[in-house]
Amino acid sequence: MKNLRYKFGIFKNGFTLAEVLITLVIIGVVAALTIPTAINKKNDHEIVSRLKKTYSALAQVTAKIIAEEGSPKNWSYADQNIYNLYKKHLNNAKECLGAGCYEQNVMYCLNGSVCNTFDNDYYPDYKLILADGTQLIFSRISSSNHNDCSLNVYGSTGVCYGIIADVNGMKRPNTRGRDVFIFVLQENGLYPAGCDSGSCPNNDGFHCTCRVLREGAINY
């Protein structure tokens, strides 16, 4: 039977062992180069989708609070007050006072350096976890309250307050502009940071919130 197969040329054009090995090596190299990129794109797409969902929910809640409380300029900017206003309207959100649900205690800048820890003055203990796992931190941004909505920060002007969102929850990289973004409360509503004069990308990363939502992608 073996001789008949060779006679009729069945194995005449077969690959040698060396050729098979070279082919496998090439496939491995291509996979090593392309699979991580594909995974990163998938992860970025999921993050952008969750960022859009979070912003939509918070913007709607902000509009309801404004209807009840009037202009944000007239709100009390004690962290607990802002926290309570949003908690009232965020159904199924999990309350996380103190260390609570937050395992990570470091937030990284876009350049990889440590931006802040969650236990300093800028990131107080008023936090919520939404039903999809998104973690919110209610932050006055500055070490003092700004009832006059005069802060110019993260590429936004006339800022009263900030809400930080870690849209993939406990997962890494816990980095501004990658999975951690900030929305700024201005006199007439809540907006993604960086829409006024943001410079993205930059070392900080928070300027990129508006760009990511506008482009629907993390293109930096």
Q: Give residue-wise pLDDT tens across range 98-120.
A: 555 555 678 899 999 988 765 54
As a whole number of angstroms, the distance between CA 129 and CA 164 comes to: 12
Top-ranked range on mean pLDDT: pick from 46-60, 104-118, 132-146 = 46-60
Q: Give residue-wise pLDDT tens across range 7-52.
A: 545 445 566 877 777 777 777 676 566 666 655 667 899 999 999 9
**Tokens matching residue 198:** 């943001």
Task: Show me where the domains of the chain are located.
Answer: 11-215
As a whole number of angstroms, the distance between CA 202 and CA 178 comes to: 12
- Residue 56 is predicted with a pLDDT of 97
Q: Considering the entire predicted model, what is its pTM?
A: 0.79
CA 217 to chain CA centroid, Å, is 11
Q: Give residue-wise pLDDT tens across range 176-200.
A: 999 999 999 999 999 999 999 878 9
